[in-house]
Amino acid sequence: MKRFPLIILITLMFIFSGFASAPQPKPADSAALDSVLKKMDSLAANFHGAQANFEWDIYQKVIDEIDDVETGAIYYRRHGKEVEMMAEVKRSGSSLASLAPEEKYVLFSGGKLRLYSRKIDQVQEFDLGKNHSDYDSYIVLGFGGSGQELVKTFDVTYGGAETIDGVSTSKLQLVPKSEKIRGTYNQIFLWIDDRGISVQQKFLSPQGDYKLAKYSSIKLTDKISEEVFKLKTTNKTQVVTPRG
């Protein structure tokens, strides 16, 4: 079966276990971190929606190379008290040089995560249950999530200023406070721009694998069409609900 895209793996990682610890910040770093978190708070207070292009790279340590690349577009919007996300995976392949079209859609809405593969005309549906709001902080990581919420879920340290594709950013290191989550990703890095948006994310596993998410053409918007957050299924689409 095809590997789930990065964003799905993030939402499913609660089933694992592990351990990691965060370094103690220096006083100067604490002031810089506070400044970044306040930018994120300001953005979150007025956040309505965002859209961007993405590239998701998956690195496997055992073969010491990136063995999967997915590109496409991603959309976020605040819907009531929740944030919805739609990712359109337009191309997928083992390397940038050999990308082949393979349309997939990932929708997070109404407490459910749905993965639609157009090729096999199938939707995999995961009901996240009554505690689905716990997943929101991962879905909106760096896209409309507040700094206050970030420090509730992670131990956060400031990693310095870096330029990513010509954009000035502040690098944050995150260590999940949940022991279960640390078994899947024991470190997460965010590169936050001056708006409070994440232009790059890196998720590292205890085994040395990582998933790198790069975003471009990021646009904050007051409104995104309702049609964007609907799966374009057919009257023959099969819906399955994986267990375990």
**pLDDT tens, per residue, the chain with 244 residues:** 444 454 444 444 333 323 334 445 455 588 999 999 999 999 988 899 999 999 988 877 777 766 678 899 999 998 777 788 999 988 776 655 555 567 889 999 888 889 999 889 999 998 877 655 556 667 778 888 889 989 988 999 999 999 999 999 999 999 988 887 788 888 999 999 999 999 999 999 898 888 999 999 999 998 888 899 999 899 999 999 877 5
* β-bridge partners, 89: 72, 104
Instruction: Write down the pTM of the prediction.
Output: 0.79
Hey, what domains does the chain have and what are their CATH numbers? Answer: 6-240 (2.50.20.10)
SS3 196: coil
* Residues 17/180, Cβ–Cβ less than 8 Å: yes
Q: Rounded to 10 degrees, what is the CA torsion of 134, 131, 243, 3? A: -20
Alpha carbons 111 and 199: distance in angstroms, whole number? 26
Token pair for 91: 């191309």
Cα(49)–Cα(85) distance, rounded to whole angstroms?
A: 10
